[in-house]
Every structure is written in structure tokens, then in C-alpha cells.
């Protein structure tokens, strides 16, 4: 249904409400130019009909499009939507929603290789205006507009009903119909700035991260160096003339008595490359170790007793048999560094490992399925219930 016609009198597109009824309306169809009759009865909504038996489907859409152009040409004003720019973590309101009053308006003037519906001019700046009823700006057109670099507004007229009254139609075109920026030069400029800013932010972040990494690296290095210093001064202290002898295995102790009965005393004094890391003498820690890890499980008949080297060094540590400077973990790198000044230095972990290999060689422990185990074959229980070494 058609609410618009072109007036014979003015050549302008006008609304049904502005004409007399019947042929006296003096209008032709905006699409096919056929003569129109204004139907302004009391039942149906007022509309134009073709006077001839036209097949013209000439449509409300194209009439509305023409009407919108003519309206803005006449009023020279339009409501602009708010203008925002955002990129990455940045966003800014560049202009609020506002009314724009043009100095003048051009209809269908070619700009570059496009012909916008209207060009509104204000202070020598052009604003392109497009109306969309069913055809909206496509990718190709948007590219062209961006290339020209002129701000372009598209107004969506698709929601306007043919039978709305004139005031309502005008209000929608000028103010309330959906409208948005296809392209806006201020927005493009702001987005470019945001892009530059974002690149700078990334660079700044990377620099910051690098500084933090360097700092961590330095801290690790400092810790490493201070640990070396601590180990070296501990060695110096331990090897000095005035340092008291570390506690030895007491011959009155239960441990000594048990080892002695089992025939293991000679095996609790294995000569290791150094004993600097240990706070007790060799016979003491080795003797206690033999009791706890070999004799005790055999006494209890715990055939399943098995342990790793790590478990063994932990035990040594919890017995307070290590100077704190030498506590695990003590890396190979640290050890190498200490050896530069003390060539026979060896980590307590490795010293204990040497001792375990010695016990294996002597047949007191065995290595099976990734664990150390007491060798039950090497011992027997005496008539009085004590563990003794089986002589081979």
C-alpha cells in the first residue's frame, strides 16, 4: 500500500494526508509515474491507488526512500548517534548523541566512485547519508567509503510501517529510526591511536617482564653464591685446628652393642672421600644407619623393608647427622663449584650412596626393583634371639 505520491503541482513527494481525495489529489506514482487516486474513505487507512489497472508493485520501499531524502533536504537536520571508538582495552566516547543542523544538503551527488543518497555539509565538512530499507551498505561499499575517508551515516528505515501517520514517519526518519556510523573519520583516527597505544603497551609489558626475569635470575644467582660461601666457610670451620672432634660412636651405647653382636662394627667405619657435611663421625652415622636400615628390619622379620637413596639421605638429615649448610637438595652444579676450592668435596647424598654400594659389595644389602633391601641371607638369629652375621 502506498502512502506517498509525487505532486503534479510541486514535483515533490507528498503524504496522503496532504492531498484531496480522489483524482483531485493530482499525484503520480513515484515508481511508474502512473496517475494515482487518493483513497480517503472512512473504513480503510488512507492510501493511494493506481488509476490505470497498473501492475506496479511500486513500492512503499522506494517511495519511503524518496520521501526520506526529500524530508532531510527540506529540514536540513538530522539526529546523529553517539560516536565511540574502542580497540583492545581502550574505549572512548568521542561525541554523545546529538542533533546536526547542516548548512546545506546535496541530493545524489557523486563522490569518488559512489553516489550517496545525501550529502550534508556543515562548516565545509561533508557527511554522507544513506537510507536503507532492504539494501544495507555491503562490504564492498564500506571499503569504497573508507577509501574516500568521508564520515558516513546509515539510517535504517525498515521498521517504518506504511500506515503510520505523517508525524510518526517524519519523527522516525529524523530522530528515532536506528542509525549508525558506517565510517567516521574521528573514530578511525581514535582507533589508530589506540592501536599505536596498544603496541606501545605490549612493548612496555615485555620490557617490564624482562626486568622482572632479570631480577629473578639475579636473585637465584645471589642465593647460589651465598650457599657456596656458606659451604666454604663451614668447611673452613670444620677443618680448622680448633674445631672439636665430631661425636663418635659410643662403645657403651646400645647401637654399638648390637653392631658388635652382629659382627658389623668393622663395617661402620667405611672411609669416605670426606666427612665435612656430617656433624657426627663416620662410625656414628654409619653405625646408626646399619642398625636402623639393616639390623632392625631383620630383627623384626620385615622381609619387605626397602628404601631408596633419597629416603636414606632424608633419614640422615632428620637424625641431625648433617650440618645445615650441607642439607639436601645440594645440586651437582653447587658441588662442582665448591670443588674448585676443595677438590675432594663430595655431596653427603653421594657419600651415602658410596656407603650403600660398599654395603652391597659386602653382601649386607641388595639392589632390587629400584630399591635397596636388607639381605636376609647374610644374617641369622642366634639361640638367644640376636641377629648375627652368617659367615660365608
Confirm or reject binding of residue 32 to Zn ion (CB under 5 A). Answer: yes
Count other Cβ atoms within 10 Å, centred on residue 363.
Answer: 13
**Of 27 and 330, CB closest to Zn ion:** 27
Confirm or reject binding of residue 56 to Zn ion (CB under 5 A). Answer: yes
Confirm or reject binding of residue 1 to Zn ion (CB under 5 A). Answer: no
Q: Which of 7, 18, 40, 58 binds Zn ion (CB under 5 A)?
A: 58
Least distance to Zn ion, CB of residue 7, Å: 15
Task: Note whether 159 and 137 are within 8 A (CB).
Answer: no
Which residue spans within 98-193 are E strands per DSSP? 98-101, 104-107, 118-122, 125-132, 152-156, 179-183
Confirm or reject binding of residue 28 to Zn ion (CB under 5 A). Answer: no
Least distance to Zn ion, CB of residue 38, Å: 14
Given 3-state DSSP classes, what are the helix, strand and coil percentages for the chain, each rounded to the nearest 5? 45, 20, 35
Least distance to Zn ion, CB of residue 57, Å: 8
Least distance to Zn ion, CB of residue 126, Å: 33
Compute the chain's Rg from CA coordinates: 49
Confirm or reject binding of residue 334 to Zn ion (CB under 5 A). Answer: no
Confirm or reject binding of residue 66 to Zn ion (CB under 5 A). Answer: no
CB crowding 180-213: b at 16 or more within 10 Å, else e: ebbbbeebeebbeebeeeeeeeeeeeeeeeeeee
- Of 57-65, 162-170, 285-293, 349-357: span binding Zn ion (CB under 5 A): 57-65
**Of 2 and 78, CB closest to Zn ion:** 2
Least distance to Zn ion, CB of residue 26, Å: 16
**Of 133 and 280, CB closest to Zn ion:** 133
Q: How far apart (Å, rounded) are the C-alpha atoms in residues 128 and 151? A: 6
Task: Note whether 52 and 35 are within 8 A (CB).
Answer: yes
Least distance to Zn ion, CB of residue 2, Å: 8
**Of 58 and 263, CB closest to Zn ion:** 58
Q: How far apart (Å, rounded) are the C-alpha atoms in residues 83 and 186? A: 9
Confirm or reject binding of residue 29 to Zn ion (CB under 5 A). Answer: yes
Task: Calculate the alpha carbon distances from 214 to 176, 198, 202, 221 in Å.
Answer: 58, 24, 18, 10
Residues that bind Zn ion (CB under 5 A): 29, 31-32, 34, 56, 58
Amino acid at each position: 500500500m502506498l502512502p506517498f505520491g509525487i505532486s503534479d503541482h510541486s514535483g515533490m513527494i507528498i503524504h496522503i494526508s496532504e492531498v484531496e481525495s480522489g483524482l483531485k489529489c493530482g499525484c503520480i506514482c513515484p515508481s511508474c509515474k502512473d496517475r494515482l487516486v487518493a483513497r480517503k474513505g472512512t473504513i480503510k487507512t488512507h492510501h493511494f491507488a493506481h488509476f490505470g489497472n497498473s501492475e506496479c508493485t511500486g513500492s512503499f520501499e522506494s517511495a519511503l526512500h524518496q520521501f526520506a531524502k526529500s524530508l532531510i533536504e527540506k529540514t536540513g537536520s538530522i539526529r546523529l548517534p553517539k560516536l565511540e571508538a574502542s580497540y583492545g582495552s581502550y574505549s572512548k566516547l568521542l561525541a554523545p548523541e546529538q542533533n546536526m543542523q547542516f548548512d546545506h544538503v546535496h541530493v545524489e551527488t557523486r563522490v569518488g566512485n559512489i553516489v550517496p543518497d545525501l550529502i550534508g555539509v556543515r562548516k565545509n565538512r561533508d557527511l554522507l547519508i544513506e537510507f536503507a530499507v532492504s539494501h544495507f551498505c555491503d562490504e564492498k561499499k564500506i571499503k569504497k567509503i573508507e577509501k574516500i575517508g568521508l564520515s558516513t551515516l546509515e539510517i535504517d528505515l525498515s521498521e517504518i510501517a506504511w500506515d503510520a501517520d505523517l508525524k510518526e514517519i517524519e519523527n522516525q526518519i529524523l530522530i528515532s529510526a536506528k542509525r549508525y556510523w558506517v565510517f567516521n573519520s574521528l573514530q578511525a583516527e581514535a582507533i589508530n591511536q589506540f592501536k599505536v597505544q596498544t603496541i606501545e603497551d605490549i612493548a612496555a609489558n615485555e620490557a617490564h617482564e624482562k626486568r622482572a626475569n632479570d631480577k629473578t635470575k639475579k636473585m637465584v644467582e645471589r642465593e647460589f653464591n651465598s650457599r657456596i660461601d656458606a659451604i666454604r666457610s663451614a668447611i673452613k670451620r670444620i677443618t680448622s685446628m680448633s674445631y672439636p672432634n665430631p661425636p663418635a660412636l659410643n662403645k657403651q651405647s646400645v647401637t654399638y652393642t648390637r653392631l658388635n653382636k652382629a659382627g658389623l662394627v668393622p663395617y661402620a667405619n667405611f672411609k669416605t672421600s670426606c666427612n665435612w657435611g656430617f656433624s657426627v663421625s663416620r662410625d656414628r652415622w654409619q653405625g646408626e644407619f646399619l642398625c636402623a636400615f639393616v639390623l632392625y628390619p631383620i630383627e623384626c622379620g620385615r622381609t619387605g623393608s626397602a628404601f631408596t637413596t633419597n629416603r636414606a639421605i632424608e633419614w640422615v638429615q632428620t637424625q641431625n647427622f648433617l650440618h645445615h649448610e650441607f642439607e639436601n637438595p645440594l645440586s651437582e652444579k653447587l658441588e662442582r663449584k665448591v670443588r674448585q676450592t676443595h677438590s675432594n668435596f663430595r655431596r653427603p647424598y653421594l657419600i651415602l650412596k658410596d656407603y650403600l654400594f660398599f654395603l652391597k659389595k659386602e653382601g649386607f644389602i641388595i639392589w632390587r626393583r629400584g630399591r635397596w633391601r636388607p639381605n636376609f641371607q647374610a644374617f641369622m638369629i642366634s639361640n638367644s634371639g640376636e641377629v648375627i652375621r652368617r659367615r660365608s
